[in-house]
Chains A and B, each alone.
Chain A
Amino acid sequence: MNSTDVLLSRLIWPSVLVRERAAVALADLISEEGTVAEQTQNAVMTWIRRQNMESTAVLGILIFYRLADQHPSKLPEPGMINRELRRPSLLSFELLRFLYGDHVVKPDWTQCHSGEPTPNFQPPEFFEKFRNNFLPPIYSTWIKEVQNRTLLPMFKQWAFEWTQLVSSLGYKPSAQVLDFGGRPPGLRMLVDFPLSEVYRSAYLRSLAWAVTKGRLPEETALYLAHEACPVDLGLWRVQPGSKPLWWPKPKVPSGTVDTVPAELSTALSHLWDKKRDIFKGKALLAANGSVLCGTDTYSLSIRAMFQAAYGPVLGDPKDIMKACDEAQGEHTGQDVCFAGALKPIKPEDISLVSHDWLTLPASVYVRPRVFPRWQYWRGYRGIQLPAPFLASEKVSFRCEQDSIIVFDGDTEIGTWQDWTDGVTEEFVNDLPHPHGWALCTPWDLVDKFSRLSHSTFSWICEVKGFHREQEHEKFREFSTYQLYGTTNLILPV
């Protein structure tokens, strides 16, 4: 045993954050000069060779993705990883293709599953009972979807693959491990156990089986296999920053009166008034983040919108915020790296008429293909990009070292940056994570759209509070809304 074994063991440690750090640390070691790099690379190759599950073998490949992303020259020659891979899968093929392009030989999918279950095979009770405990329910959703569309017995196949793996690896399935860490009730942690990997690998093998049956197109199977990738390769590149200076920082109330909403109101007014200075000449299109963590937790959401009034009755802030939250964008990217082009959206598809107001969100939520399990906080709070109708040409985006950059043609029109504020392995159920992000865009884009649409640029802000008297109680959630820049004047068209 040497210490590299300990480091490699961290790659399959239950806590997903630890796995991510281990992958990064190993990639960094390989990128170094000298014997340590060679020794580490050899150890990783040996480790990949020893992996007898598809989903854990993928973790080894991710080390090399990280290496290629940060130190492209250090990437080993094509085929080297492939040679070590005892358990190729749809996902490993996709990742290697991402790394080496067409140099990668496609695995023989018939060798990537266990074949047909025996006629009298019955899914084990344990498999059924705990499949949504060891894996997120989305896996079951996808299997169901494939089963419905292909009429193949996908659940049975999944269970069969699971049974084969459990048997060949000598596992004694037990749910006892789910209590990992003896956590107090209410605390959560994103974890993957060896049995999670059995479920996950069985999922990948079932998809390969469906492909060989000729009922599931390979491209669809590859798309579904992405689910087993623990990290979005694009977002992995984006380093979270630190909390911006302008982000409101209310004081913890010292008495019995909750002073946070009032403090936030003052801070938001100031932000709005000084917005052209504070954001360095850019317009804040959206921001979302926690402002206070502790006994009382507060989260703030700022959403820019274009607003017009057609009568005296004010719009309902709650409805307006809801419409903003529901404004979804779609992108063309299909792989495990968050990048691509935003599909066009008609303003009327996401606008809202609330009483005598018409509001139009200035940004939309855009989801990465893969839930970034290794960077779970990003998955929970989401990512927003400028609404495509603000641009004149095709809107595209890509992940950079510290932000997601959005382009209108070749012109940069938006920057999404996030920050962490004490993210840990464990988090409290029902509470927002100590994390935040902000999306900015050039003022000329906003001014132009405002002028053309005869609307005013404005903000709606929601302060969401979470409070409980006792630790055993559930958190009580409450929201207050503030509007900035809205008008009751009926502007001439």
Chain B
Amino acid sequence: MNHQMPHEGADAILEWARALVSMAAVTPNLELERLVRFIQQFRTQGRSSYVLNAFAFSLRIEKNMSGLRELLGISGLSSDECAVVRKYAVGLAFECGIDIGISDIQGWDDPFSSTYRGLRFKLDVGPQAYWPAWSMLDRPENTFLSRRPSIASFFKMAFYAFVTGNLRGEITFINDWIGQASTPYVRDLLNRVNKLAAEIATAVHNKTPMPFSNPYRYFEDAQRPRHWASDRESSEIADGMQDALTEITFDLIYLQKEWVTQGTVGIDDMQTVFSSSFSDRWDWLASYIQFDSPFFPEPVLTWLIDELETSVDNTIDIFPTRAERYSKLALVSVMHNRGAEEVERLLQKVVSNSISYGSHKDMLIYSMLEITESCHKNGIEGAERWLLSLAPAIAHITEFTDGDETGYLPKKLGESLAKVSPKRLPDYYLWLSRQEEYFDARSVFQELVKIMDFTDPVSRSIARTGLDQGSLHVLRERAEAGDSLAADLLKEVTSLFGAIREKTETSTTNNVEFVHRAKENQPRPSDYPPPKIREFLRASDVRTPYETSELIKVWLEFWRDGQGLGAYDAVKTFADSGYDVRNGDLMATLARRFYGVDEDYRWIASANRDEMGWSQFFTKKEFAQARWEEIKRSYPDRWLRFIQDTITRTQVDQWHDVSAQNSILRLVEYCIFLEHADQAREIAEKTLNIIHELTSPVRFDSPDWLGSVDSTSGGAS
């Protein structure tokens, strides 16, 4: 496991470790003591309980009491670590109505165990020895991790302590403890939690049920800051309280089994929960899913799914968020075995909101224009038809989009027409001019100048009127490429107006500056021959993964010729130990050179992921294409796997927040490049259909430059 540890700072390592131990909880034949030793490495950061919590939680979700028992039997756990495990062991014992089955439980002094003893065995729980530490509310130093889980744990632990205290009648003690709270806000919240606990103690004595939504009623008049920025401290405390309240509500479902036969959940309960200022319905649902112990009866469940699905249907939000919400509802449906029809409906919505068009749906049109050009260039039929079918929507683009990144589309359509259907370009130009869309018309005119045949005297005459910078630039390019007629036209302009000064584009120098800065501060690679990459990096003062990768690049490039094999092996070993070394393209080259083709796939894939090779907006095509060439040459049978391996940047949570929107063009180009033209056309036509579906609520007038073309058919079969 240490070999896979990322090199991205303490926070990332912690999150990675939590994910890892969560998976370990479902691994058969786990070496538990070894895992605990791994977790205890985080004691030095005071974070072993945090990591252990993830493992114990997974065991509890898996209803693996024997695993929890085994874990509790391991010697050397600290009291904090023990409390974490006991919390889940107790929760599972309540949920499943089973005993924890550990003989020395009488000695456990945490609030969860005390409650367990009191409710399950009607034992006098004895004085509370273990109350939640006030430090759990402190803001942790040197981390960007949220303090929310710690605050939630604090309140939940306090709740259990209050239940036990109220069962024992230790009211004064409780009040004294609450009085130690550092802020009036925390004190107020603890008082509300205590009142809830007192009601539970009474219910236990009277053997009466407690309504499901009762915990929220104690918070009906509780204040919480309207906005994070207005009172950050109280806001974060309230967030933690909210999470604790969710967990307490779930726990109560099972706790009640200890004194009444059955608790009930009604629609009114859920309405109370969802209307509370201490409840976020989607967070709440996420916790319910994570809890993985379905308890909603009918008709509550049907109401819940209808209510939430309708709310997503009718709410404007970014598409990944919408997709995530539908997916939660689908999960709830699955948890309750509600049948394929509902699940399929919800999953369709998940897919259409995530894979189809991402967060900036109108940008699909831009991608489609580029796809059209690419398909046309490669002889795939239908490109002109697709292009023309987009024209009505583009003609009205500012009427249904805010113009952000879409105002360019009329111009882009001109560029595409010039390549796919040049004979239509003059009509499009004239139409734009008649619409007084001069900015776009000027761009389209430049496209005309690019493609006009200057042997035709009328075309030459048209070009003579191109006095804008763009048209002159096109003329200059044609002249420089050897077009003597373009050169003559340019000469005429110069003789009339003098030498035209072309505007020079100022390039951003940020990256260049960074590289220089990095180089200034870096140690000399020559002082660190292979395999001393670790020493080399340690001698530098780089901090971020990007800076590190830049430095590794410098080192690799220095040694690649003289000691390439050693350099490759060193960086590979470094990568295998969990460091994010990037430089996939360079490593792929070295891998091929020293180990042959089978070795380089991992580096090609990692380069494509790291460099966002599928995004048309983040990497140049030439870099992406160099990788495609290698896939085509060495791994043609892995062409689809390459997509699967690289479509998302992260491998930890591979399908989280996935959107193919920015990748569609490259995917089509890749399919064409790998000689899968059918798939390319299929992606193109699906994309086109999605665009037409998205714009289908509006009936666009067909611009008259299209003539008799049926632009409403969409073009895709």
Contacts and interface: CB of A to CB of B under 8 A. Distances in A.
Interface in A17-45: 17-18, 21-22, 24-26, 28-29, 32, 36, 40
A441 interface: no
A7 B462 contact: yes
A479 interface: no
Interface residues of A, number: 44
Interface stretch (B194-202, B273-281, B313-321, B465-473): B465-473
Contacts of B457: 29, 32, 36
A281 B456 CA distance: 46
B183 interface: no
A266 interface: no
Contacts of B442: 181
A3 B465 contact: no
6 contacts: A13-B465, A15-B467, A25-B465, A180-B438, A424-B500, A425-B468
A14 B457 CA distance: 24
B115 to A, nearest CB: 68
B620 to A, nearest CB: 27
A181 B439 contact: yes
A177 B438 contact: yes
A245 to B, nearest CB: 15
A420 B495 CA distance: 8
Contact of A4 (B427, B458, B501): B458
Interface string B480-523: 00000000000000011111110000000000000000000000
Nearest to A1: B427
B465 A10 contact: yes
A450 interface: no
Given A7-B458, A420-B498, A1 B438 contact: no
Contact of A239 (B448, B464, B466, B496): B496
B577 interface: no
A423 B498 contact: yes
Interface in B430-479: 430, 433, 436, 438-439, 442, 448, 456-459, 461-462, 464-469
Interface string A430-466: 0000110000000000000000000000000000000
B436 A243 contact: no
A211 to B, nearest CB: 33
A478 B198 CA distance: 86
B461 A1 contact: no
B429 interface: yes
Contact of B465 (A1, A7, A32, A180): A7
Interface string B407-430: 000000000000000000011011
Which label, helix, strand, loop or mixed, suits the secondary structure of the B interface?
helix
A268 B534 CA distance: 68
A32 B458 CA distance: 11
Contacts of A29: 457-458, 461
A421 B499 contact: yes
Given A5-B426, A13-B438, A29-B457, 14 more contacts: A3-B462, A5-B430, A14-B438, A22-B465, A25-B461, A25-B462, A180-B438, A181-B438, A181-B439, A194-B436, A239-B495, A242-B498, A421-B498, A435-B498
Chain A CB within 10 Å, residue with most, of B436, B459, B495: B436
Contacts of A21: 464-465, 467
Contact of A9 (B430, B458, B497): B430
A240 B438 CA distance: 29
Nearest to B407: A182
A343 to B, nearest CB: 33
A240 B496 contact: yes
Nearest to A294: B501
Contacts of A65: none
Interface in A195-249: 239-240, 242-243
Nearest to B425: A6
B426 A425 contact: no
A422 B468 contact: no
A36 B466 CA distance: 21
A32 B498 CA distance: 27
A130 interface: no
Given A3-B456, A5-B430, A15 B468 contact: yes
B467 A3 contact: no
Contacts of A424: 467, 469, 497, 500
B493 to A, nearest CB: 9
Contacts of B464: 21, 24-25
A271 interface: no
A237 to B, nearest CB: 13
A18 B499 CA distance: 17
A293 interface: yes
A182 to B, nearest CB: 6
Contacts of B433: 9, 13
B467 to A, nearest CB: 5
A10 B462 contact: yes
A18 B467 CA distance: 7
A87 B80 CA distance: 95
A130 B433 CA distance: 22
Nearest to B468: A425
Interface string A386-429: 00000000000000000000000000000000011111110000
Contacts of A181: 438-439, 442
Nearest to B705: A1
Given A6-B430, A7-B462, A9-B430, A422 B438 contact: no
Contacts of B495: 239, 242
B442 to A, nearest CB: 7
A378 B557 CA distance: 60
A365 interface: no
Contacts of B500: 422, 424
A1 B459 CA distance: 14
A424 B438 CA distance: 17
A24 B498 CA distance: 18
B242 to A, nearest CB: 48
Contacts of A142: none
Contacts of A25: 461-462, 464-465
A240 B494 CA distance: 11
Contacts of B496: 239-240, 420
Interface string A319-341: 00000000000000000000000
Contacts of A3: 426, 456, 458-459, 462
Nearest to A25: B461
A272 interface: no
Given A6-B462, A18-B467, A1 B498 contact: no
Nearest to A176: B436
Contact of A26 (B426, B461, B466, B497): B461
A193 interface: yes
Nearest to B437: A177
A470 to B, nearest CB: 15
A402 to B, nearest CB: 11
A171 to B, nearest CB: 10
A375 B456 CA distance: 28
B498 A434 contact: yes
Given A1-B430, A28-B461, A182 B436 contact: no
Contacts of B426: 1, 3, 5-6
B501 A293 contact: yes
A177 B433 CA distance: 12
Contacts of A1: 426-427, 430
Contacts of A423: 497-498
Interface string B569-593: 0000000000000000000000000
A18 B465 contact: yes
A280 to B, nearest CB: 22
Contacts of A28: 461
